[in-house]
Structure 1
Amino acid sequence: MNRAHSPDDLLSPTGSSDSPGPATSPAAGPTSGPAAGPATPVPVVTSFADLRLPAALLRELTRQGVSAPFAIQAATLPNSLAGRDILGRGRTGSGKTLAFGLALLARIAGQPRAARRPRAVVLVPTRELAQQVTEALAPYARSLGLGLVSVVGGRSISGQARALRAGAEVVVATPGRLADLVERGDCRLDRVAVTALDEADQMVNLGFLPQVTALLDQVPPGAQHLLFSATLDGDVDLLVRRYLTDPAVHAVETSVDDAGRTEHHVVEVAAADKHDAVSRLAACGERVLLFVETRQAVDALAERLLGDGIRAAPLHGGRSQAQRSRTLEQFRAGQVTALVATNVAARGLHIDDLGLVVNVDPPGHHKDYLHRGGRTARAGASGSVVTIVLPQQRRAVAQLLAQAGVVPQTTRVGSGGGELSRITGVRRP
């Protein structure tokens, strides 16, 4: 067992991503879970130049227009660059990708390349997040002459195997595909010096815990581990206990209501009026991300919105990776204005200037509400989250929002839905 705290700790889920911006005073607060420990004091860092980063990375940051670190970057980088394990908590959009990415790249800079034997591994829960992390880190890896490969399901495994055989210092992967490549002998983890786990809670929630632990058990003792998660309870806490040694603990605000940039609305409707309200929201004149619970419901709603004259498209795990990538590009370009998605498909998505998120089906857990709402109001922008609620759902949704720490504006919308224009500026399709 690797870097174990105790032999008794057995284990049974962003275009650019998370672009950094000006740091407020970094907020290091207590984290949940017994493994987290007290928050680590935060050095005062106002510039990347204050950090021990390679000169090539500093030049690339300047080329990318990145001038000052976000809070999570300013909090974690001094410790991660010094080689400490990191336990970071923060919502998506807080700058986690560069927080772990810069440290990871700096740690392995100058190391010799070897076929099938990467020096660093980044594990993420979904293909889309893998793509975004890869795109975000690629220019910084190139600046250091480091090879970076993305390995995910839905793509040719033989092509990914060839890339690994050619040699790549950094692998960004979903756990299942990396486990397949390791089993085939196309990748070995015995030279990995640093790992990063992004959105560790979702990897656990999606059932990847066995693959994650099997992979981390093959990483050499003494490797550095950087774990980032919106929540640190349950099996995430067990991951921390098993693999992190004396981690520096940092947290930034996890509420989707960060800095008051997000407006939250509950729209109460009768069942007969629900689709009319959803259609009006989807036709608001800007890009809208709509969440429903199942793949079948995604397809049905997208088809119905198309019938309403709205440029809608579905996004869920039943579609091929090529279809999903094409849909996301169309959404980013504005060719699709209403993206209908499941929780899993939209995990980790970063869409610039996304102003409206609609919970067509209310989520079942407050963490899912925070995740969904985190798709808007990113990188200092503002946005709105609208949750459609039927009469029988009122009590459950009220409890869910209270757990999420959100106080919404509640509006009852009848046939005709004129109130929607007042609260969100939407128009009739």
Structure 2
Amino acid sequence: MNGPHPRNDPTLPDRSGESFAGLGLPPALVRELAHQGISAPFAIQAATLPDGLAGRDVLARGRTGSGKTLAFGLAVLARSRGQRGSTRRPLVLVLVPTRELAQQVTESLTPYARSLRLRVVSVVGGRSISGQARALRAGAEVVVATPGRLADLVERGDCRLDRITVTVLDEADQMANLGFLPQITALLDRVPPGGQYLLFSATLDRDVDELVDRYLTDPVVHEVHPSADALAATEHRLLDVAAADKRAVVTEIAARGERVLLFLETRHVVDELTQHLLDSGVLAAALHGGRSQAQRSRTLEDFKAGRVTALVATNVAARGIHVDDLGLVVNVDPPGHHKDYLHRGGRTARAGAPGTVVTLVLPQQRRAVVQLLEQAGITAETGAGAA
């Protein structure tokens, strides 16, 4: 894309209050949405679906939890109806940064794909590559993939990208931050030119700009502001603590019995805190990249079901985890970047539900945390002691 990115174009129609049928979705998808209890589109869905359905390239910025998965998913499924992928040659590629997000996207889209008789396959690391290769040989219209595993399958000849007509880059900023950019460009260079691109990201920065400039053609840009996707539903608090009191404060918060997601910086401290909480009688579990995919999936299911009430995690959980009615996220260790703060906080107050983000702040961390919140555009209340 040449020239500056358009922002908030006043000539774009206001589609707030529009129905899914009015946005142009086929009846089968509208019926499935109703079956799933979804009656009206979120702001980002209302904004992007008409352009996605029309085949335009779309660059969309929206907060985590704003409904991005259905915003691109419904569009690509509607555009793929009546088509059939062949052996090893899918029609739609959805690239995501983490295994958890791939699983979430696949689970979210599967019922809608089924209503149109389309097949969705997920390919991620940590799972049997031979099983994924068999699924691709059986044929699928949509492949949801992390870049590393897809690159392996392409290299083996188990997946070909020469029939891809629609490409989605979900959480593009995170993929760039994780160092996937070379793999992504190598994969996208195998996609035939002239196809549709839908790029969704919580933030737009230099690395994302590189992808936009290289692959998107005259994209329509949609930015859904926090006011439009219920950022106001989140309460942000800073909790000043002394180093000697920090573990006791965390234990008190985790022991309340309500589900809480606790973020720390490293795997080691996650495991250490998890064991301490278990020893204190808290139903706790650890989630980080050192666990197998089967362990991570089982832990998430236990958390969603309430069998685990305190999920202790590294940033691996900051994307791709959707837990209904999760009311509290605690930054035990403040994140190092304002983007990470936004994505951690995006695990609560999803789809407009209320939620609270608490950040524990040691005296020597206060200045950096205040700057981080300013960069994130967040106003937080300050307190001391236990939350």
TM-score, normalising length: structure 1? 0.87
Select 2:154's aligned residue among 182, 192, 198. Answer: 182
Do the aligned partners of 1:123 and 1:174 also contact (CA within 8 Å) in 2?
yes
**Partner residue in 2 for 1:11:** none
2:7 matches 1:38: yes
Paired residue secondary structure (1:344): helix
Which of 64, 68, 78 is the equivalent residue of 1:96? 68
Task: Give the whole-Å Cα distance in 2 for the aligned partners of 1:123 and 1:74.
Answer: 22
Q: Is 2:173 the counterpart of 1:201?
A: yes
Contact (CA 8 Å) 2:318, 2:340: kept in 1 or not?
A: no
1:411 lines up with 2:375 in the alignment: no
Deviation of 1:51 after TM superposition, in Å, equals: 2.3
Residues 368-395 of structure 1 deviation map (CA, whole Å, 9 limit, x = unaligned): 1111111111112111111111111111
Alpha carbons of 1:298 and 1:366: their partners in 2 closer, same or farther (altered >3 Å)?
A: same
The one-letter amino acid paired with 2:294 is A
Q: For residue 203 of structure 2, what is the aligned residue in structure 1?
A: 231
Match of 2:298 among 318, 322, 326: 326
1:6-85 matched pairs, under 5 angstroms: 35-40=4-9, 41-44=12-15, 46-85=18-57
Aligned to 1:416: none
**Aligned pairs, how many?**
384
Do the aligned residues in 2 keep the contact of 1:230 with 1:254 (CA within 8 Å)? no
Matches within 5 A, 1:180-329: 180-254=152-226, 258-329=230-301
Deviation at 1:344, TM superposition (A): 2.2
- 1:345 Cα deviation (Å)? 3.5
C-alpha distance in structure 2 between counterparts of 1:392 and 1:259, whole Å = 28
Give distance in 1, aligned partners of 2:90 and 2:110.
15
Superposed CA RMSD: 1.5
Classify 1:255/1:367 alpha carbon distance in 2 versus 1 (closer, same or farther; 3 Å). Answer: farther
**Take 2:367 and 2:352, find their aligned partners in 1: how far apart are those partners?**
32
User: What amino acid sits opposite 1:260 in the alignment?
Assistant: A
Distance 1:128 1:358 in 2: 20
Deviations 1:185-208 (A, max 9, x none): 001000101011110000001111
Residue pairs, 1:343-362, within 5 angstroms: 343-362=315-334
Change (3 A) 1:84 1:150: same
Q: Which moved more, 1:53-62 or 1:245-254?
A: 53-62
DSSP 3-state at the match of 2:352: coil
User: Could you tell me which amino acid in structure 2 is paired with residue 39 of structure 1?
Assistant: N
- Deviation per CA, 1:113-147: give whole Å up to 9, x if none: 31000000111100001001000000010111111
Distance 2:380 2:213 in 1: 37
1:389 maps to 2:361: yes
Question: What is the CA–CA distance in structure 2 between the aligned matches of 1:77 and 1:215, rounded to whole Å?
Answer: 25
Query: 2:278 corresponds to which letter in structure 1?
Result: L
User: Is the Cα contact below 8 Å between 2:110 and 2:120 reproduced in 1?
Assistant: yes
Instruction: Give the percent of matched residue pairs that are identical in Structure 1 and Structure 2.
Output: 73
- TM-score, normalization by structure 2: 0.96
SS at match of 1:237: helix
Given that residues 262 and 313 in structure 2 are in contact (C-alpha distance below 8 angstroms), is that contact kept between their aligned partners in structure 1?
yes
Q: Partner letter of residue 336 of structure 1?
A: V
Q: Provide the C-alpha distance between the structure 2 equivalents of 1:113 and 1:398, rounded to a whole number of angstroms.
A: 51
When residues 299 and 289 of structure 1 are mapped into structure 2, their CA distance, relative to the original with a 3 A threshold, is same
**Corresponding residue for residue 112 of structure 1:** 84
Task: Specify the code of the residue in structure 2 equivalent to 1:288.
Answer: V
1:253 is displaced (CA, Å) by: 1.8
Question: For the Cα contact (< 8 Å) 2:57–2:197, is it kept in 1?
Answer: yes
What CA deviation, in whole Å up to 9, does each residue of 1:7-56 have, x standing for no partner? xxxxxxxxxxxxxxxxxxxxxxxxxxx65223341342510110222221
User: In the alignment, residue 379 of structure 2 is paired with which amino acid?
Assistant: V
Give the whole-Å Cα distance in 2 for the aligned partners of 1:192 and 1:337: 42
Deviations 1:283-317 (CA, angstroms, capped at 9, x unpaired): 22210000000111111110111111111110000
Distance 1:291-1:255 versus aligned 2 partners, 3 A rule: farther
Change (3 A) 1:199 1:35: farther
TM-fit CA distance, 1:61: 1.4
> For residue 132 of structure 2, what is the amino acid of its counterpart?
Q
- Runs of 4+ aligned structure 1 residues displaced above 3 Å come to 254-259
Letter of the structure 2 residue corresponding to residue 224 of structure 1 = Q
In structure 1, C-alpha distance between the alignment counterparts of 2:226 and 2:164, rounded to whole Å = 30
Q: Mind listing any 5+ residue stretches in structure 1 that lack a counterpart?
A: 7-33, 414-419, 425-429
Residues in 2 aligned to 1:309 and 1:114: alpha-carbon distance in whole angstroms: 53
